[in-house]
A and B are shown apart, each in its own frame.
Chain A
Amino acid sequence: MFRRVPPLKRINKASSNISTLGSSIVNVINHSKSTTPLLSNYYSTIAANENNSSTLPVKSTDILIVGGGPAGLTLAAAIKLSPNLKHFKTTLVDAGNLSENLPKFHNLSSSAYMTNRVVSITPQNMDFLTGDLNLPLQFNRIQPFDGIYVSDGLNDTSRMTMDRESMGNMVELLNIQSSAYMKLLELNANNNTNPIEIADNCKVVDIVKPSTTNATANGVENTNPWPYVKLDNGETYKTRLLIGCDGFQSPVRKYAGIETRGWFYNEWGVVATMKLEYPPFNHIRGWQRFLPTGPIAHLPLPGDWATLVWSTTPELSKLLVSLPSNVFSKLVNAAFILEDGDMQYYYRKLSDAAVDKRIFDEIIEDIDYRIEVKSQQLINKNNSDMYYVDENYPPPIKDTLEKSRARFPMKMFHADTYVAPRVCLVGDAAHATHPLAGQGLNMGLGDSKSLVSVLEKASSRGLDIGSVDLCLNDYWKDRYGTNMMLLGVVDKLHKLYGTRNEVVVGLRQWGLNVVNNLGDVKEFMMNVVSGRK
């Protein structure tokens, strides 16, 4: 219903003549092929079939957001809610079927099952979502947690507990996406003068910058021409500001010619939704153990659900995704409480080619036995405290939700800059990080918030929002430092816990114990993780 509402009010008066535009595009084709190899290197190549551009008119918009993920949709909602920005014509483009999937998710009656893409949202960002944007989040699917428990996989005694009331919230990505989408629909229903146009099921085929010499208006050379975005349904949009929220392989970033620096960790993360044996009764907290192969994290969800992110070597991740779910659940329990020698034995036995049901049963029995023995030893070592294991180890897992296991590669990347003429990058298009500190989407939401404030400032002064010097640079200046610091710290932590060198291991175990006992350092770390300045 809201997919192709034609704009009732056009802000942009400059290039309304369609035929000159068409001819300028044709001119660009000839131009780039024959005379100027430099320009053709700099601008992206033009798609081969030009028949569509001459039949359908080029639509003009002020803000084009590419990507309907959580960052893109919340950014769209923030723009439409802002008094200074809501007069801009806004379009959101996404390749997925948002109009069908998101309302379906929003109208789910119960939290009968939880999806496997869950992130932790800091209290600040939660305030942004619920307060500033007033998104209709499904709160019965959100779990606030009161602390994080970090331990070392090579030692039982080296650990750090960070306890603070509502340190973060576990929210499903679909929850954020669907609530932002419903908010946009609501805004469109209330504001008929300038509704946001949501073009879903449309993939961006190409983004083109017309050459400067031809895009003139009134004889004045346009040094900052508007990008033309071609979609796979034949439509073309030209936009004052192109915002790329389109993820790691961002075509917007490629168009802007912005390079990224970073690396792939030789690690893949396995995610799964798990059912606990009993809901946690004392603290609701997140648990993370730094195994030598990579960190494993157990994060709480409402009721007796929990979500798992287990980063490990590529071979092991393949193995883990292929195991039967009862063996996988037992292995997750073992990873949090048993020792490195145990885990290596299980990996070796399960990686054997001739593995069958008998071996699975043996391994399950062995895990049960070892966990019992280890729990008893831990209780004996700690003044016969009956609740020691319950207090210091995550609640055991009964089963894993079928089809919820998936794996994805871990990487760290940062774009050189977030802004280019008429382009800016938000979220995963600008930065990618390891999930061990739960900062990925938090950085993205911080980006959205900052971008909106920068655009508001420029718009209230009547400046061109697509200009780098006048408007967009402030956004990059605001966010680059914070994001760089978070990326760097997470990367160093990952490297620190990725080694088996005895000296480093000893130092880091001692260091973790020291930090656990130093109140001020812990307060500082908790502030960073929960997003407080």
Chain B
Amino acid sequence: MLAKKSVLKVAALAKNPQPPLISRTFITQAVITGLASHFIFGKDAQLADNIENGKYSNPSTKSNDTTSIDLFKRPMEPQYDGHVPLYLHEKFLMYLVSSAKSYYHPEDGINIVQLGESTAIPCCLENLKQIMLKDDVGRRILRERPNISSETLEAFRGSNLPPNSVGMTYFKWLDKEGVGPDTRAPVQYIDDPDHAYIFKRYRQCHDFYHAINDLPINIEGEITVKCLEACNIGIPMAIMGSIFAPFRLKKAQKERLYDIYLPWAVKQGLNSKPLINVYWEEIMHKDVNEVRESLGISKPPDLRALRKEQRRLRKELKIRYER
């Protein structure tokens, strides 16, 4: 049996002789790979890179030994207070992990924060910066760098806000939802200081978008506001969130979102003025309907009331037909 097998093998080999290991094609490929990698990764190329990076032009007391790996080397110096510079692969890992975590636990603030910063690619923020620079108010915001925190907002509570003003609407909404104004997490992982400020401003204005549209802070309200932000401001995380987040919801919630609230958000976001150019601190005393008109937004149906109504209806129908 074994002999037969080996005879067959020899016969097969005789018919189709295997090509020798060291053939012409192999040698050519090996030479080409060798040359290419020499010119890309070889010592000369490394030397050229080092000269271009200024390693040999600024003599310093630090040793220029390139053979040891510096475990604590960071991509750049911190550009602003609280800046944590990350390498590209670290940012990508943060994106993967935080997107998975945010999908299952969107209530945890850290996940959303990390997802937002890892997906805020420079070209989107640069685009936003140009939009702000073109506008009068946006320019002033970039120059004066106002900061919205819980202290600055509480200060408005004391001042005489006329009824029906933006400030009054905001505080009424806070009381309705049972929360207080909270300071948003600082920006850490975005490299350019201007972009970091723009992202911080975007985060801090999030509550105002809730208040001016009377959207609650449950998951549906958050998705709606995210969709509005996505269509108006164009932050990638908002776009991703408004597409993927509804998948986890119950049927009734999904229906409400897809039928009423997401279409409203898309229409409002695309047709209104850029919300990033609104100087909220200055319009706290202004009439809220005036502000809504000037921005081109209008309120959606009251989400809390709608939910209550639909729940009551469902219960009634259930009782009636499942007797």
Give the interface of A toward B (CB within 8 A). Answer: 339-342, 344-345, 348, 366, 369, 377, 380, 383
| Interchain CB contact under 8 A, B193 and A345 | no
| Interchain CB contact under 8 A, B194 and A339 | no
| Interchain CB contact under 8 A, A339 and B130 | yes
Shortest beta-carbon distance, A335 to chain B, in Å?
14
14 new A-B contacts at CB < 8 Å, known A341-B129, A344-B134, A348-B134 = A339-B129, A339-B133, A340-B130, A341-B132, A342-B133, A345-B134, A345-B135, A345-B136, A345-B139, A366-B139, A369-B143, A377-B193, A377-B194, A383-B54
Chain A residues with CB below 8 A from B132, complex form: 341
Chain B residues with CB below 8 A from A380, complex form: 79
Nearest first, the 8 closest Cβ-Cβ pairs linking A and B are A341-B133, A341-B130, A341-B134, A344-B134, A345-B134, A342-B133, A340-B130, A345-B133
Give the total number of A-B pairs whose CB atoms are below 8 A apart.
Answer: 25
Instruction: Encode B108-145 as 1/0 by CB contact (under 8 A) with A.
Output: 00000000000000000000011111111001000100
A344 vs B131: C-alpha distance when bound (angstroms): 10
Contacts A/B (CB < 8 Å), 16 sampled: A339-B129, A339-B130, A339-B133, A341-B129, A341-B132, A341-B133, A341-B134, A342-B133, A344-B133, A345-B133, A345-B135, A345-B139, A366-B139, A369-B143, A377-B194, A380-B79
Instruction: Say what secondary structure dominates the interface of chain A.
Output: helix
Shortest beta-carbon distance, A345 to chain B, in Å?
5
Shortest beta-carbon distance, A529 to chain B, in Å?
25
Chain A residues with CB below 8 A from B194, complex form: 377
Shortest beta-carbon distance, A279 to chain B, in Å?
26
Chain B residues with CB below 8 A from A369, complex form: 143
* Size class of the contact patch on chain B: 10 to 19
Residue of chain A at shortest CB distance from B143: A369
A377 vs B126: C-alpha distance when bound (angstroms): 14
Shortest beta-carbon distance, A10 to chain B, in Å?
70
A102 vs B298: C-alpha distance when bound (angstroms): 71
A493 vs B129: C-alpha distance when bound (angstroms): 28
Chain B residues with CB below 8 A from A340, complex form: 130
Residue of chain B at shortest CB distance from A385: B54
Residue of chain A at shortest CB distance from B194: A377
Chain B residues with CB below 8 A from A345, complex form: 133-136, 139
Chain A residues with CB below 8 A from B135, complex form: 345
A483 vs B136: C-alpha distance when bound (angstroms): 47
Shortest beta-carbon distance, B67 to chain A, in Å?
23
Shortest beta-carbon distance, B59 to chain A, in Å?
15
Given A377-B194, A383-B54, verify A341-B143 contact (CB < 8 Å).
no
A340 vs B129: C-alpha distance when bound (angstroms): 10
Shortest beta-carbon distance, A419 to chain B, in Å?
51
Chain A residues with CB below 8 A from B133, complex form: 339, 341-342, 344-345
Most buried by B among A345, A348, A369: A345
Shortest beta-carbon distance, B82 to chain A, in Å?
16
Chain A residues with CB below 8 A from B134, complex form: 341, 344-345, 348
| Interchain CB contact under 8 A, A341 and B79 | no
Residue of chain B at shortest CB distance from A382: B54
Give the residues from 254 to 301 in chain B that come closer than 8 angstroms, CB to CB, to chain A: none
Residue of chain B at shortest CB distance from A517: B52
Chain A residues with CB below 8 A from B79, complex form: 380
Most buried by B among A341, A366, A377: A341
Chain A residues with CB below 8 A from B143, complex form: 369
| Interchain CB contact under 8 A, A341 and B131 | yes
Chain B residues with CB below 8 A from A348, complex form: 134
Shortest beta-carbon distance, B236 to chain A, in Å?
15
Residue of chain B at shortest CB distance from A155: B126
Give the residues from 190 to 211 in chain B that come closer than 8 angstroms, CB to CB, to chain A: 193-194
A131 vs B262: C-alpha distance when bound (angstroms): 76
Residue of chain B at shortest CB distance from A383: B54
Chain B residues with CB below 8 A from A342, complex form: 133
A4 vs B269: C-alpha distance when bound (angstroms): 78
A383 vs B53: C-alpha distance when bound (angstroms): 10
A380 vs B191: C-alpha distance when bound (angstroms): 12
Chain B residues with CB below 8 A from A344, complex form: 133-134
Residue of chain B at shortest CB distance from A369: B143
A344 vs B138: C-alpha distance when bound (angstroms): 13
Residue of chain B at shortest CB distance from A347: B134
Chain A residues with CB below 8 A from B54, complex form: 383
Chain B residues with CB below 8 A from A383, complex form: 54
Most buried by A among B132, B133, B135: B133
A475 vs B92: C-alpha distance when bound (angstroms): 63
Chain B residues with CB below 8 A from A341, complex form: 129-134
Shortest beta-carbon distance, A363 to chain B, in Å?
11
